Amino acid sequence: MESTIMDVLGDRVLELGPKPSAENPYRNFKLTRDEDGIAWLLFDREGASANTLSADLLEELDAVVTALENQRPAGLVIRSAKASGFIAGADVNEFRGATDPRTVETAIGRAHAVIDRLEALRVPSVAVIHGFCLGGGLEVALACQMRIAIDDARFGFPEVMLGLHPGLGGTVRFTQLVNPMQAMTMMLTGKTIDARRAKALGLVDAVAQERHVRNAVKDAVFGRLKRARPGPLVTLLNLGPVRGFLASRMRAEAEKAAPHKNYPAPYALIDLWEMHGGDRAEMLNAEKASFANLMVTPTAQNLIRVFFLREQMKKLAGSGNKVRHVHVIGAGAMGGDIAAWCANRDMRVTLADMKAEPIAGAIKRAAELFGKIMRKRTDQRDALDRLIPDMDGEGVRNADLIIEAVPEKLELKQKVYAGLEPKMKPGTILATNTSSIPLQDLRTTLARPERLLGLHFFNPVSRLQLVEVVSHDGTDAALLQEARAFVGAIDRLPLPVKSSPGFLVNRALTPYMLEAMVMLDEKIDQRLIDAAAVEFGMPMGPIELADQVGLDICLDVGDMLRSKFGDMLPPTPAWLREKVAKGELGRKTGKGFYTWTDGKAVKAPLPETGPRVTDEMIDRLVLPMSNVCVAALREGIVDNADVVDGAMIFGTGYAPFRGGPLNYARTRGVENVVTTLRALIRKFGGRFAPDAGWETFK
């Protein structure tokens, strides 16, 4: 049944304009006229919860524009009938698998023509924006003469996250409307801004509450709204010599975050503005060709794939979350941050520990996190109110979910469970955040082992989206589904995985980090080892990652996995045990392989002369990850190759532009991967033996 404005926005229909009539001829739009002669065009993409710009929708919009050209209303208002927001962007699914830039350019050219016609309408046009206005949606809004934002509106160009830049005229209209340095920064980073910031930039002309929209629209259409107009600085910064100077600075900044060879889109955008920013028509035309050339790159196609992997993993969460109260045991780095994140997502959280100091530290970190991610002080206060210190562990009795996050010691965890189980109410989920201990070992002392499952978060909890949802052969299936729904409710991505040492992610990461230790034993500079991983596309190298995770945890996980997989893992150097014994644990103690200051590793640059990164170094680090992922598939630890790639990207930051370790192997060629692994066996030993799963992997 087609939704109406009344269905979606309730009583606010009176502020939006009249309900559409039954004679409305459009599938994705509702076009009506109010008593002032103003046309109201409501985006309402058929069968979707959010508006996206697809080829069929743009074709219909072209017909709407023709009707408006003939009708010549007093003004035009463009709104969304979706509660989710204005327009969430283009339907990128239409470009998956694109290989011919000429085909893409032709398609994008048709879309350009529609947006250009909208802009050329000879009536006052106003975009009224609530919720998300992103990518192509913002380009539609920019084609209107005026923009009115509702308080909750958010604006951005996230195309760079897909290996692209705006492609419907946004590069031109945005840089000519607001300070081009600020416009380019938004497009180069993909960051979103709120309505107030958009007003300050001059992106929107007014910010209004929903109840005042009707009056604001009339003011806009009848010339009473003071419009935001580009000032002389915008003109100055768009001059050729100035563009050249600023573009060089932009490239230098972009290179720090996104190397050109891996992520071409930022540099294509900078080139586009630098070379064509002074000529509107020329830049509009060049934008189409640049966008089309980016679309067919492996980077864009892999990043689009990653976008859909995220959507696929969101669906694994399902719906119907029943968890309202979370009790976390262990207020260390992981437990405290898990508790803070749950409180941030509107959960009531009790946080227990044997000592008061870790709880105090966790509350302090939570306050810092809330200050960074919440704009309103009242929201920060409310989140802290939901995070309740609980030295006596009273929260156990009322909790819907208990998350144990104590150190990786089997006996300690079992002792905690013995004290918990008699106090838990029926139906409560008992979850462990263990990173490596099989649940089959943890469950042995439980009276009701079917309630035990794993919820393995990754560090830092606030940034890494993955949570491994771990089951053993006796886990209650209904509780597993409730756990996945909980993960979705706290805005995280669940990975269903069967219990096995290291599960998926740590099992794949351990050979990566231990091989780096072996390379240190070979007297390879730790900075060079990290540089090899970064050159491949990892967010940080394995040495820095080990410091970030904690050398004690790395050692525990390595020992646990070696007891299971033996010769398939590199040996643990004796000096690593000595570092741990001395308390040099990495970031959390201020010293590990690197010295850490203000949460960052202090690194001197590599000397300009001397050894350099080699392909062999990169292969030694990254191919064992692909090998483990194939093994996990073959063993049934995980059951979907695409989800494996998503897990490694969202849980470890594995080079997104490569599409994940299995996609990388597929792209490189399975035969090449296996041949390379066999060559590494001959030189370095049996730990590089290709898994039997490669024989059937496609």
Q: Which of 497, 523, 542 is the last residue of a domain?
A: 497
- Does residue 294 register a pLDDT over 90? yes
172 phi/psi in degrees, rounded to 5: -85, -55
Q: How many CB atoms lie within 10 A of CB 322?
A: 13
In the three-class reduction of DSSP (H, G, I as helix; E, B as strand; rest coil), residue 79 is classed as strand
Confidence class for position 312, pLDDT limits 50, 70, 90: very high
Confidence class for position 23, pLDDT limits 50, 70, 90: low
- Which pair of structure tokens corresponds to residue 266? 């930022």
Q: Is residue 553 in some structural domain? A: yes
Predicted local confidence at residue 376, as pLDDT: 87
- Does residue 2 register a pLDDT over 60? no
Mean pLDDT of all residues in the chain? 92
pLDDT > 90 fraction of the chain, expressed in percent and rounded: 82
Is omega for the bond preceding 460 within 30 degrees of 0, making it cis?
A: yes
Confidence class for position 20, pLDDT limits 50, 70, 90: very low
CATH number at residue 462: 3.40.50.720
- Does residue 560 register a pLDDT over 50? yes
Beta bridge partners of 41: 31, 78
In the three-class reduction of DSSP (H, G, I as helix; E, B as strand; rest coil), residue 168 is classed as coil
Q: Say if residue 563 is in the same domain as residue 454.
A: no
Mean pLDDT of 201-218: 94
- Which pair of structure tokens corresponds to residue 304? 């689009």
Mean pLDDT of 664-682: 97
Q: Say if residue 521 is in the same domain as residue 628.
A: yes
pLDDT one-digit tens code per residue, 223-255: 999 988 898 999 999 999 999 999 999 999 999
- Does residue 490 register a pLDDT over 60? yes
Distance of CA 344 to CAs 93, 324, 382, 433, Å?
A: 32, 13, 9, 19
Predicted local confidence at residue 22, as pLDDT: 52
- Does residue 4 register a pLDDT over 80? no
Q: Say if residue 186 is in the same domain as residue 238.
A: yes
- Does residue 8 register a pLDDT over 80? no
In the three-class reduction of DSSP (H, G, I as helix; E, B as strand; rest coil), residue 444 is classed as helix
Q: From the DSSP assignment, how many helices (H) and strands (E) are in the chain?
A: 29, 20
pLDDT one-digit tens code per residue, 112-136: 999 999 999 999 999 999 999 999 9
Mean pLDDT of 63-84: 94
Q: Say if residue 379 is in the same domain as residue 483.
A: yes
Q: How far apart are the first and last CA of the chain?
A: 41
Q: Is residue 674 in some structural domain? A: yes
Predicted local confidence at residue 198, as pLDDT: 96
Closest CA to 466 of 643, 600, 335: 643
Query: Structural domain tally of the chain?
Result: 3
pLDDT one-digit tens code per residue, 129-183: 999 999 999 999 999 999 999 999 999 999 999 999 999 999 999 999 999 999 9
Range(s) of the domain holding residue 277: 5-296
Predicted local confidence at residue 561, as pLDDT: 82
Give the span between the Cα atoms of 13 and 29, in whole angstroms.
16
Q: Is residue 649 in some structural domain? A: yes
Q: Say if residue 526 is in the same domain as residue 477.
A: no
Give the span between the Cα atoms of 75 and 215, in whole angstroms.
14
Q: Is residue 678 in some structural domain? A: yes
Q: Is residue 302 in some structural domain? A: no
Tell how strand 429-432 and strand 401-404 pair up.
parallel
Predicted local confidence at residue 523, as pLDDT: 93
Q: Say if residue 280 is in the same domain as residue 331.
A: no
DSSP H helices in 31-169: 55-71, 101-120, 136-142
In the three-class reduction of DSSP (H, G, I as helix; E, B as strand; rest coil), residue 477 is classed as helix
Q: How many CB atoms lie within 10 A of CB 418?
A: 12
Beta bridge partners of 591: 586, 595
Whether pTM > 0.85 for this model: the answer is yes
- Does residue 92 register a pLDDT over 90? no
pLDDT > 70 fraction of the chain, expressed in percent and rounded: 97
Confidence class for position 1, pLDDT limits 50, 70, 90: very low
Q: Which of 433, 464, 497 is the last residue of a domain?
A: 497
Q: Say if residue 493 is in the same domain as residue 552.
A: no
Burial 238-252, CB ≥16 within 10 A → b, else e: beeebbeebbeebee
Q: Which of 441, 464, 497 is the last residue of a domain?
A: 497
- Does residue 681 register a pLDDT over 90? yes
Q: How many CB atoms lie within 10 A of CB 175?
A: 25
Q: Say if residue 187 is in the same domain as residue 334.
A: no
Q: Say if residue 62 is in the same domain as residue 194.
A: yes
3-state helix, strand, coil in the chain (%, to 5): 55, 15, 30
Q: Is residue 684 in some structural domain? A: yes
Q: Is residue 304 in some structural domain? A: no
Q: Say if residue 448 is in the same domain as residue 549.
A: no
Q: Is residue 303 in some structural domain? A: no
H/E element holding 158? none
Q: Say if residue 190 is in the same domain as residue 45.
A: yes
- Give the alpha-carbon dihedral of 283, 287, 290, 292, to 10 degrees: -150
Q: Say if residue 659 is in the same domain as residue 632.
A: yes
Residues with a known catalytic role: 90, 136, 139, 159
- Contact of 303 with 163, CB cutoff 8 Å: yes
pLDDT one-digit tens code per residue, 518-556: 999 999 999 999 999 999 999 899 999 999 888 988 888
Residue 645: Cβ-neighbour burial (10 angstroms; 0-12, 13-18, 19+): buried
CATH number at residue 647: 1.10.1040.50
SS3 readout for 597-615: ECCEEECCCCCCCCCCCCH
Give the span between the Cα atoms of 140 and 128, in whole angstroms.
11
CATH number at residue 60: 3.90.226.10
